[in-house]
A and B are shown apart, each in its own frame.
Chain A
Amino acid sequence: MVAACVLGFLIVFVLVGPLIWRIDPNFIEPDTAKMFKLRNKPPSLAHPMGTDQLGRDMLARMMFGGRVSLAVGLVAMFVAIFIGTAVGVMAGFFRRLDGILMRLTDLFLALPLLPLLLVLMMLFRDPVARTLGPRFGTFLLIVLAIGVTSWMSASRVVRGEVLALKEREYVLAARSIGLPNRRIILRHILPNVLSPVLVAATLGIAGAIITESVLSFLGLGFPPDFPTWGRLLYDGIAEIRSYPERVIWPGLAISLTVLSVNYIGDGLRDALDPRIRGR
């Protein structure tokens, strides 16, 4: 419950916040003399979290960064869950595909994911950014890269569930009245694997947010004018001695988000899976 409240507060902060706090996160004072005066301001009424080394308002940047971070987490999770569920259902339902799809899953599990993600970002970031624009291109690349490298656990869970569900009487009944496989999967199998998928999805959001911020932290994530919490933290580290709050705020935001999402995922698992209740 506490976790849901914290997450709710963070979501309100990043979604509603910019409607109230109407400062452009990328606004740099065009007049150079004024800009220099605005740099590195401590927290004040005009700038509750101070300003950064270019005089941009930190509060506005935190809100904007949170939007991007959460969006990355959500979309990457959708990509991963989509692939994972598709692979899992196929492997569980069609025995012929099972072997090859599970080998594929094993192969992906044996890939060194973080180094591979870094390589992907290094090689594809600039070309993709050139064709699709630096913001949308990077977003798409990061989301796809994280999604493609994190679907394996979901597919394994789904496969296990489907293998068990497939033998149930109602699936047999559906098959005996001549329902095609596609309808059986959509009507009878998918709704019943929803709860493990939901748990995997929740934990997947947390993983995706962490992965994105790691990429940003290693300097291979979003460009500086399109900040995420990870990127803000990365930018803050250069001046951690003089302005530690620029590391603390984004780091705290990431940690609280991931912590509350993980707690919600755990709670969901306990609520949806009666077998492990009371552990």
Chain B
Amino acid sequence: MFNYFIRRLLAAVPTLLLISFVIFLVVDLAPGSPMSEIPLTVPPDVRQKMIEAMGADKPMLVRYVIWLLQFFVVETGWAIQNLTGWGVIDAITPAMQKVMRLLLNSETYEFTGQRIISWQSKVPVFQIIGERLPQTLTVVGTAYLIGVLIALPIGIYSAYRQYSWFDQGGTFFSMVGYSVPTFFTGNVLILIFAIRLGWFPTIYDTNLSVTDWASFKAFVRQMALPVTVLALFNAAEISRYTRSSVLENLGQDYVRTARAKGMGEGKVVLAHVLRNSLIPVVTIVALGVPTIFGGAIVTEQIFKINGIGAALIGAINVSDLPTVQTVTFIFAVLIVLFNLIADILYGILDPRIRYD
């Protein structure tokens, strides 16, 4: 198991490198890059300086390597330095400069240990991400949790009473939840509950901090709509998987054995069937985590939540390439990471799976 884990971890490195290269290439090969959008009235020497300041004058591969170094080494160094207070950055900068000089075959190249800077706001991209991530995590995390909690009972009961009215209703509900796009459900909910009834605010207030009962109530009220939208969407998918997984297990021999020895129905379903049918569901839940971050881009746009998806859209609208590259790559890292987690979980939970 441990060997397998190490092997998968090592295999993830080339995948991530390839993905980061693809993202870099897409952004770089685009004909409409912001470098061409400097006004013509800017004198040539100033233009040259602007391009140099953005680091856009070097060949593509060099910029890619610099970006990789910044993402993996400099940013990690800063994270450690901020956490522990050690002077990590000063210690590793000369080594990185040596690497860059070797790669470029030049003795004069200066690598200053610069972090990835957003072109739009001139602050490090990771600082922006650090500010935005809590909002996304609160909304998305709560929604996913509630979604799973709704989906499991529905899936189990509709499998147990297959073809009953509950099952038909549940299947229809999951089909609707799966098909109706979140930007439509979100806006309908806003229309009904925020505009017509006025129960909830339409806009998510990021500055709100929970200090007492009143602010907690306001917090719950502003969370209600986005969480409902995302939770319904997630529940739809997970409940279908739960249902088919439970159905598969209900036909197994061990269920008949358990019933034959006189075990109560509740114990058969909840103790025997459930434990076995949750194995694929757990992996589906793990695999779904990165997707809901993607889905949160839309939800954040509907409810004006100032999260990481909104940061991405904002950066895209002003062609802030470093932010776009970094945030997109973080999404890719999430996908690879949760694929790995899903595989490992499957191996731990299901003793029939042997990886080595």
Residues of A participating in the B interface, judged by any CB pair closer than 8 Å: 106-107, 110-116, 118-120, 122-127, 206, 210, 213-214, 217-220, 233, 237, 240-241, 244, 247-248, 251-252, 254-255, 258-259, 262-263, 266, 279
| A240 touching B247, Cβ below 8 Å | no
The digit string for B105-121, where 1 denotes a CB below 8 A from any CB of A, is: 00000000000000000
With A112-B294, A124-B30, A213-B183 given, can you name 19 additional A-B contacts, CB distance below 8 Å?
A: A110-B339, A111-B19, A111-B335, A115-B297, A115-B331, A118-B316, A119-B27, A127-B32, A213-B181, A218-B297, A219-B317, A220-B316, A233-B184, A240-B195, A244-B191, A254-B184, A258-B179, A259-B175, A266-B175
Interface residue from A119, A247, A266 paired with B26 (Cβ < 8 Å)? A119
B247 nearest in chain A by CB position:
A279
Shortest CB distance B144–A (Å)? 17
What are 7 A-to-B residue pairs whose CB atoms are below 8 Å?
Answer: A110-B332, A110-B335, A110-B336, A112-B334, A118-B312, A210-B181, A262-B178
| A279 touching B244, Cβ below 8 Å | yes
| A114 touching B183, Cβ below 8 Å | no
User: Of residues B23, B187, B332, which shows the largest number of chain A Cβ atoms within 10 Å of its Cβ?
Assistant: B187
Contacts of B313 in A (CB 8 A): 118, 218
Q: Which chain B residues in 1-44 approach chain A with CB under 8 Å?
A: 15, 18-19, 22-23, 26-27, 30-33
B335 nearest in chain A by CB position:
A110
Shortest CB distance B113–A (Å)? 27
The digit string for B191-217, where 1 denotes a CB below 8 A from any CB of A, is: 100010000000000000000000000
Contacts of A219 in B (CB 8 A): 317
Q: Which chain B residues in 130-186 approach chain A with CB under 8 Å?
A: 175-176, 178-181, 183-184
Interface residue from B18, B32, B187 paired with A124 (Cβ < 8 Å)? B32
Complex Cα distance A114/B335, Å? Answer: 12
B243 nearest in chain A by CB position:
A279
- Given A110-B19, A111-B19, A111-B22, are A206 and B179 neighbors across the interface (CB < 8 Å)? yes
Size class of B's contact patch? 35 or more
Contacts of B334 in A (CB 8 A): 112
Q: Which 7 A-B pairs have the closest CB atoms?
A: A123-B30, A112-B331, A251-B184, A127-B31, A259-B179, A255-B180, A114-B294
| A240 touching B187, Cβ below 8 Å | yes
B171 nearest in chain A by CB position:
A266
| B176 touching A123, Cβ below 8 Å | no
| B335 touching A120, Cβ below 8 Å | no
| A262 touching B331, Cβ below 8 Å | no
| A233 touching B183, Cβ below 8 Å | yes
Complex Cα distance A49/B23, Å? Answer: 43
Residues of B participating in the A interface, judged by any CB pair closer than 8 Å: 15, 18-19, 22-23, 26-27, 30-33, 175-176, 178-181, 183-184, 187-188, 190-191, 195, 244, 247, 290, 294-295, 297-298, 301, 312-313, 316-317, 319, 324, 327-328, 331-332, 334-336, 339
Shortest CB distance B301–A (Å)? 6
Contacts of B290 in A (CB 8 A): 112
Shortest CB distance A209–B (Å)? 9
Interface residue from B180, B183, B294, B319 paired with A259 (Cβ < 8 Å)? B180
Complex Cα distance A92/B201, Å? Answer: 54
Shortest CB distance B290–A (Å)? 7
| A255 touching B244, Cβ below 8 Å | no
Contacts of B15 in A (CB 8 A): 106-107, 110
B301 nearest in chain A by CB position:
A218
| A251 touching B187, Cβ below 8 Å | yes
Contacts of A127 in B (CB 8 A): 30-32
- Given A110-B332, A233-B184, are A116 and B176 neighbors across the interface (CB < 8 Å)? no
Contacts of A244 in B (CB 8 A): 191, 195
Interface residue from A110, A124, A237, A255 paired with B181 (Cβ < 8 Å)? A255
Complex Cα distance A217/B178, Å? Answer: 18
Complex Cα distance A106/B328, Å? Answer: 17
Interface residue from B176, B178, B298, B316 paired with A119 (Cβ < 8 Å)? B316
Contacts of A206 in B (CB 8 A): 179
Complex Cα distance A240/B202, Å? Answer: 12
| A123 touching B175, Cβ below 8 Å | no
Complex Cα distance A254/B294, Å? Answer: 20
| A115 touching B26, Cβ below 8 Å | no
Contacts of B190 in A (CB 8 A): 240
Contacts of B178 in A (CB 8 A): 262
B16 nearest in chain A by CB position:
A110
Complex Cα distance A118/B319, Å? Answer: 11
| A123 touching B181, Cβ below 8 Å | no
Complex Cα distance A247/B192, Å? Answer: 13
Contacts of B176 in A (CB 8 A): 255, 259
Complex Cα distance A214/B178, Å? Answer: 14
Complex Cα distance A126/B247, Å? Answer: 51
- Given A110-B332, A237-B187, A241-B195, are A214 and B32 neighbors across the interface (CB < 8 Å)? no
Contacts of A251 in B (CB 8 A): 181, 183-184, 187-188
B22 nearest in chain A by CB position:
A111
User: Of residues A119, A214, A233, A240, which shows the largest number of chain B Cβ atoms within 10 Å of its Cβ?
Assistant: A119
A126 nearest in chain B by CB position:
B32
Complex Cα distance A123/B335, Å? Answer: 24
- Given A240-B191, A248-B188, are A214 and B298 neighbors across the interface (CB < 8 Å)? yes
| B175 touching A263, Cβ below 8 Å | yes
| A214 touching B183, Cβ below 8 Å | yes
B178 nearest in chain A by CB position:
A262
Contacts of B295 in A (CB 8 A): 114
Contacts of A266 in B (CB 8 A): 175
